[in-house]
Amino acid sequence: MTALEAWTRCTHVADRWLALLCALLVMGACIETLGDSGEEIVVIRDAQAKETLWPLGRDKVSQVQGKLGPVQVEVRDRRVRLLEYRSPRLVGTMTGWIHRAGQVTACIPCGIVIQIKGNRAEKMTPAQDTYDGIIR
């Protein structure tokens, strides 16, 4: 049985319209997310909800304190990744590098969230860019 036959056998007209509607909805949301790009910074939120901003273009390896212990955050070649030492499933580590505005990597048990932001509201000024990191 081909995929088309399987699709025809298992769907009504309403099913096809619903599938299409859902696909358009998801595509629209993705396009909306992609459009939100500009100067890229890394937002690191630790277990105490403290946010640190970091330029994506500046390579650095640092440790952030998580609920289960320290978590290593590595920024390299305009990419960022999270390396967990103690986490039940190491999902953040398995996510690997993220490099585009809007992408998120997180260690939920540790309470660490890393996001690349690119919208103009979060754009860093040249003066801010001279610092290693900004705590807010």
Partner 1 sequence: MNPDSETLPLTVRPELQVVYWSAAAVTAHLLESGLPYPGPWFKPGLANIFVLVAWMQLGWRAAIGVALLRVFASSLIMGTFFSPTFFLGLSGALAALLTMGVLGLTRLRIGPVGLSIPASLAHMTAQVFVAQELIIGHPGVFTALPWFLIGSWITGLFNGLVACFILQRLERGGLANSQEQGKVNWQRGSCASRE
Taking every pair of Cα atoms in the chain, the longest distance, rounded to a whole number of angstroms, is 63
Tell me if 52 contacts partner 1 by CB under 8 A.
Answer: no
Residue 48 binds partner 1 (CB under 8 A) = no
User: According to the binding rule CB under 8 A, does residue 91 interact with partner 1?
Assistant: yes
CA-only gyration radius of the chain, Å: 20
Task: Identify residues 93-132 at the interface with partner 1 (CB under 8 A).
Answer: 94-95, 102-104, 106, 108, 111, 113, 115, 117
d(CA 105, CA 30): 17
Angle at 47 between CA 42 and CA 107, to 5 degrees: 65
Measured between alpha carbons, how far is 13 from 102 in angstroms, rounded to an integer? 35
Tell me: does residue 14 bind partner 1 (CB under 8 A): yes
- Residues at the site binding partner 1, with contacts judged by CB under 8 A: 6-16, 18-19, 22-23, 25-26, 29-30, 32-33, 36, 43, 45, 49, 91-92, 94-95, 102-104, 106, 108, 111, 113, 115, 117
